[in-house]
Chains A and B, each alone.
Chain A
Amino acid sequence: MTTVDERRPTLAVWKFASCDGCQLSLLDCEDELLAVADRVAISYFPEATSTMVDGPYDVSLVEGSIITAHDAERIVEIRRQSGLLVTIGACATAGGIQALRNGADIAEFTSIVYAHPEYISTLATSTPIADHVRVDLELRGCPIDRRQLIATIAALLNRHVKHLPTTSVCTECKAASTSCVMVAHGTACLGPITQAGCGALCPSFHRGCYGCFGPMESANVEALHRRLRELGVEPDAIDRLMRTFDVEAFARLAPEGART
């Protein structure tokens, strides 16, 4: 039997359209998981426990994007029951890769995937949680960074505000003394316009950043676009590079001219 300490803050973990990877990140914190479970009462986390306690909840972690009418209603109710609502991952913060449907013909998409499109009920767009309800904090990434998740939970437990980086991935490469893949090897990299937080993982593996943390504040997309063209990257390829895991977030800041 779990002893429920009334003073422990309650935590709920919610899933919308997603791959489960961001909530799995919590179970991947093998060194911290049990300590976290001692400090918070896990009241709703169906992937991990059959115990389901009714709200309200002090903190809700929300994974996934909104792609059904039912989910658009569900998130409003979750917001109502949550003290703090923290979105985790690119689906929740930007609509995720499934936002590639936005602007496409959803009927055609459905008929490509499903034998009986009439059985499928889905919205024409995939939208971030913040398009529907007020969000208190966003953890970026596809998936989120485990260390950021633990630091965020620790900060919330101690009633601190967790300050997340707003600079570019480039600053993390410099801090880690990782040589610039674009300068040294001419590799296409979204690091200059992507929000830091991953520890500049891809460049440390000699690979260009693919933008899974989404755009940083005041990203200079046009300058990067120009530089990528100079490196010989075709416009189609640049377009595809920007249109993956944070497609909606990059699309919202890209000037029209930069897309062609």
Chain B
Amino acid sequence: MTHKSLDLHVPTLTRVEGEGAMHVVVRDGVVEDVQLEIYEPPRMFEAFLRGRAHHEPVDITARICGICPVAYQMSAAHAIEHLAGVTVDGPIRDLRRLLYCGEWIESHVLHMAFLHAPDFLGVDSGITIARQEPELMTEVLHLKKTGNRIMEVVGGRPIHPVNVRLGGFYRSPSRRELRELVPDLERAHAAAVTLVRWVAGFEFPSIPDRLAAHTEFVSLRHPDEYPLNEGRVVSNLGLDLDVADYGERLREVHVEHSTALHATLDGDRRYQVGPLARWMNNHDLLTESVRALANEVGIGDAETNPFRSIVVRGLETVWAVEEALRIIDAYAPPTEPAVAVPALAGVGAAATEAPRGLLYHRYELDATGIITDAVIVPPTSQNQIAIEADLRDFVQSHLDLDDHTLGHRCEQVIRNYDPCISCATHFLRFSSDRAGGDA
């Protein structure tokens, strides 16, 4: 039994997207306080979205995050289409999935190889890994680039794609443009499989009590496909909601010693989103080859160790490459690149699966199609409670580590969630207003 006391403060978290800090206080062998501090300056998207036209959130909300702009574009488009009663189907729907696969590949590989893997290898950066493992990283960079290439061909550019609009796209790519991606995707598939096997060989710390029975893992679920844009919101503990109902049950809660706001269901139900949740709720919908690879590397149907999320990200990357190839193979351009989405008064909501988890948008429009209220709940806001709980449980069970190692491991605990801190600042009045209203 240790009686250690320490005050661990990491003022600048590195290898995460955005600006945050971490603070852990231990006294006499007991963890007294853990905080993931977010000091990213507040940009106020929900405020300046008011007064904008119904077609604008697709471009505007992309600017919340340079790493997952497609997620913002998709959630925004689906929310307004939901309001208008428009369903996008056929090749346009497939193109959206293809674009999203590009973002998953790029974002997952960036996180795995450049942000997260250095923790397991004890190095400072992916660039250092590239010097140590040049052959592996050449292929990994090509894999990442292939994700970006998909976004260039379908969306115009990888960061803040210009080709996405309500109802579809401004211009649909030709069959030939998509076919040209195939050789790169085939090479990328081999790299993705290699990457999975490589990261599966890392040593994984564990966190006690991180069992499915104790933790609610929330994701979309679609009856026919691994979820990207559509589905019901489900969990391993029996949650099964329409997206709009899910939004109504989101609440913020104030955690003691913290000024940060954390998303919960119903005010006290804690949960997490992201690859582990998607995997747990949808593993039966993956391809045979991905399931065989999961089996080979020891990922079961319900993986709950957050340190092993890097392997699940890899498996999702293999799946995204296969899904992209499947879509391209079946693609015939739509007759029109977009369907019309009228500007109507009402409320629309949607959630899609950003690489780091469920991203919820809700908009209210007036009779002239102008936005009167906007609500955005990013995945990192929803994961903040889980991150802090992991920090607490990890530190409490690893007090035998020296301070230096413990500090590094704590940062790794945070990186397990691929946190997007620029996004997390947009977190949220929404539930609080409503919670306030209920109170």
Contacts and interface: CB of A to CB of B under 8 A. Distances in A.
A119 B46 contact: no
Interface stretch (A161-169, A222-230, A237-245): A237-245
Interface stretch (A15-23, A78-86, A132-140, A152-160): A15-23
Nearest to A98: B43
Interface residue tally of chain B, by bracket? 35 or more
Contact of A116 (B50, B162, B259): B259
A28 B15 contact: no
Contacts of B106: 28
A191 interface: no
Contacts of A111: 429
B141 A30 contact: yes
Given A27-B114, A205-B163, A51 B125 contact: yes
Contacts of A48: 15, 114, 125-127
Nearest to A63: B66
Nearest to B56: A240
B400 interface: no
Interface string B170-213: 11000000000000000000000000000000000000000000
A212 B63 CA distance: 11
B15 A109 contact: no
B232 interface: no
Interface stretch (B142-150, B355-363, B381-389): B142-150
A49 B48 contact: no
B252 A244 contact: no
A51 B429 contact: no
Contacts of B124: 2, 49-51
A21 B145 CA distance: 16
Given A51-B124, A202-B162, A245 B432 contact: no
B270 interface: no
Interface in A111-129: 111-116, 119-120, 122, 126
B90 interface: no
A69 B429 CA distance: 23
B125 A50 contact: yes
Contacts of A126: 43
Contact of B53 (A68, A108, A142, A237): A237
Interface stretch (B153-161, B344-352, B390-398): B153-161
Contacts of B44: 98, 100-101, 109-110, 112-113
Contacts of A64: 41
A24 interface: yes
A37 B159 contact: no
A58 interface: no
A39 to B, nearest CB: 12
Given A113-B44, A113-B47, A24 B67 contact: yes
B429 A21 contact: no
B125 A30 contact: no
A119 B259 contact: yes
Interface in A45-60: 46-52
Interface in B413-439: 422, 426, 428-429, 432-433, 436
A111 B56 CA distance: 23
Contacts of A31: 141, 145
A46 B158 contact: no
Interface of B: 12-19, 40-48, 50, 52-53, 56, 59-60, 63-67, 69, 106, 110, 114, 118, 124-128, 130-131, 137, 141-142, 144-145, 148, 156-160, 162-163, 165, 169-171, 252, 259, 261, 422, 426, 428-429, 432-433, 436
Given A24-B67, A27-B114, 8 more contacts: A21-B69, A27-B110, A34-B141, A46-B13, A115-B436, A205-B163, A210-B59, A212-B160
Shortest beta-carbon contacts, A-B, top 7? A21-B66, A115-B432, A49-B125, A109-B47, A100-B48, A30-B145, A207-B170
12 contacts: A17-B43, A19-B422, A20-B18, A24-B17, A34-B127, A49-B128, A97-B63, A98-B48, A113-B429, A116-B259, A120-B42, A122-B42
